[in-house]
Amino acid sequence: MTDEAVSNEELELFRDMVLRFFEQEVHPYYEQWEKDCITPRELWNTMGQAGLLCVDMPEKYGAAGAAFEITQMIQWEMSRLGYGGLGSNYNIHANIVAPYIFNLGTEAQKDEWLPKLITGEAVGAIAMTEPGAGSDLAGMRTTALRDGDDYVINGSKVFITNGIHADLVVVCAKTDPNAGSKGVSLFLVDASLPGFSKGQKIEKIGQHSSDTAELFFDNVRVPATALLGEENKGFIHLMDELPRERLGCATQAVAQAQGAFDLAVDYVQERQAFGQSISRFQNTRFKLADVKADIALSKALLDQNMAKFKTRTMTVDDAAILKLTTTEMQLRAVNECLQLFGGYGYTTEYPISRFYVDARIQTIYAGTSEIMKEVISRGILGR
């Protein structure tokens, strides 16, 4: 990942390009993708051709070598515009899978996979959650047992974002089934391998266009060179990479709250009730003031952590506090904004309703709010 600083001029040039791309390639079709409950696979290639994927990866792999802030800005804009499902897909691909490979991978692994992730030839996913083990990695049942020069993977994963379109999956599996979280390893699994299969896409209450699937591993044989990082150090690797993942979630949270706020501000100035614009009612004005203040505070915390991340001083505690506060703020903010629409806010005709249902998962995936509180409390009181 490049450490290049980004100027305001460069950031705005990228933003203009990104907004034009969304206007042409996403906005006319997004409602249909939501109805289809999946984005088309070709969108990844289109984003790759436009230079929007993994932009902060080095130029030697075909990326722009841009600053980290550019990736976050792309995710900010798609989230602000109400493309919540696409934002989650993008976060997994660009903020998790590509950095995992860049930070943990061998040169051969980087050479094989990063160019494909950058062009959209390959879509990335990460498979941690299992039907009986979500936040509890020690309870993971998927195994990857050594057999000569290979590992043989058996088990299943659920709620995997990008699961349907995935060409490459970072799989968490037990290489030492008796060691709890200390026996977890990470693997780069090619989705075309024999024994690897995908279930039907999972229907959700929100983020409909984000494909989510169950994955199955039936004696999937991968070479030892597919091990990502060190054997039995998977949990440590996950902890090291969590700050960026949770930065992505926070970016989505604050941006979607901003998008909902913008919709509400426009609506209350148009809507008439009791002979006047509802923007003149004190309740409306105070509710919007509260939401704006909440967004401003969360944006300040997000910016602070972005700066820490750039200097490699962002801690696991920082990430937990950021994830907890911004996603909980998002739920409150979007709820208040929808309320200002009255009955119309409960109809799918108005985009505010999508902001509402898309927001609900944010306090669940990438570590629930309850887990975030446990992480924070351990930093205060220990285990």
Positions marked active-site: 245
- 3 state DSSP class of 17: helix
Smallest Cα–Cα separation from 172: which of 188, 190, 194? 188
Angle, to 10 degrees, between the axis of helix 352-359 and the axis of helix 234-270? Answer: 160
What's the burial of 337, exposed, middle or buried (CB within 10 Å: 0-12/13-18/19+)? buried
Angle, to 10 degrees, between the axis of helix 8-25 and the axis of helix 68-80? Answer: 40
d(CA 331, CA 352): 12
- 3 state DSSP class of 275: coil
The DSSP secondary-structure symbol of 102 reads H
The DSSP string of 237-264 is HHHHHHHHHHHHHHHHHHHHHHHHHHHH
